[in-house]
């Protein structure tokens, strides 16, 4: 079997950190690239999405490192009965779990959080949704 690609290593490093979120026992984590999930209005959960961006060449040499940026989006879905304050607080806790310069490593590849995560506005539908945007990069 061949070694995993750089893209797989980055994803696995991020996925490992997401799995350690302190609220994971009460807010199950659903990955957007996983099985389809249709929650009931009474279920709270987190939706995680890894969005890689275009690789950027940093140096002239063909074997020199490249910058591989991306966004980890974690959406908090709380129940309407919980209210927006609870959803916003959970989003703040998610953001705190990904501090600036946090290094996430898998098989020698390190993905780093570039800056403090951004907690977005509250959206209300069947759930209360609060997005958390985390900018990540790998230089390899």
- Is residue 59 within 8 Å of 41, Cβ to Cβ? no
In the three-class reduction of DSSP (H, G, I as helix; E, B as strand; rest coil), residue 61 is classed as coil
**Structure confidence at residue 59 (pLDDT):** 86
**Structure confidence at residue 81 (pLDDT):** 96
List of domains in the chain: 6-139 (3.30.2000.20)
Phi, psi of 86 (to 5 degrees): -65, -45
What lies within 8 Å, CB to CB, of 88 at 6+ separation is 119, 122, 130
**Structure confidence at residue 82 (pLDDT):** 95
83-116 pLDDT, tens digit each: 999 999 999 999 999 999 999 999 999 999 999 9
- Is residue 18 within 8 Å of 34, Cβ to Cβ? no
pTM of the model: 0.94
- Give the span between the Cα atoms of 131 and 41, in whole angstroms: 18
DSSP for residue 94? H
Enclosing H/E stretch for 135:
strand 127-139
Tokens of 129: 């949704």
**Structure confidence at residue 5 (pLDDT):** 96
Given the DSSP bridges, would you call strands 45-52 and 29-31 parallel, antiparallel or unpaired? parallel
Across the 140 residues of the chain, what is the mean pLDDT of every consecutive 10-residue run? 92 98 97 94 97 91 90 98 97 98 97 98 97 96
- Is residue 20 within 8 Å of 1, Cβ to Cβ? no
């Amino acid at each position: 079997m061949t070694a995993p690609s750089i893209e797989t290593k980055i994803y696995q490093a991020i996925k490992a950190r997401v799995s350690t979120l302190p609220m994971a026992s009460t807010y199950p984590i659903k990955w957007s690239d996983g099985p389809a999930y249709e929650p009931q209005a009474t279920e709270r959960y987190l939706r995680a999405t890894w969005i890689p961006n275009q690789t950027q060449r940093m140096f002239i040499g063909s074997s020199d490192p490249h910058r591989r940026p991306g966004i980890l989006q974690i959406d908090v879905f709380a129940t309407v009965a919980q209210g927006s304050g609870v959803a916003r607080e959970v989003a703040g806790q998610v953001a705190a779990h990904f501090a600036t310069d946090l290094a996430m490593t898998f098989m020698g590849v390190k993905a780093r959080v570039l800056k403090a995560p951004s907690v977005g506005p509250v959206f209300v539908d069947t759930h209360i949704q609060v997005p958390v945007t985390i900018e990540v990069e790998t230089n390899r």
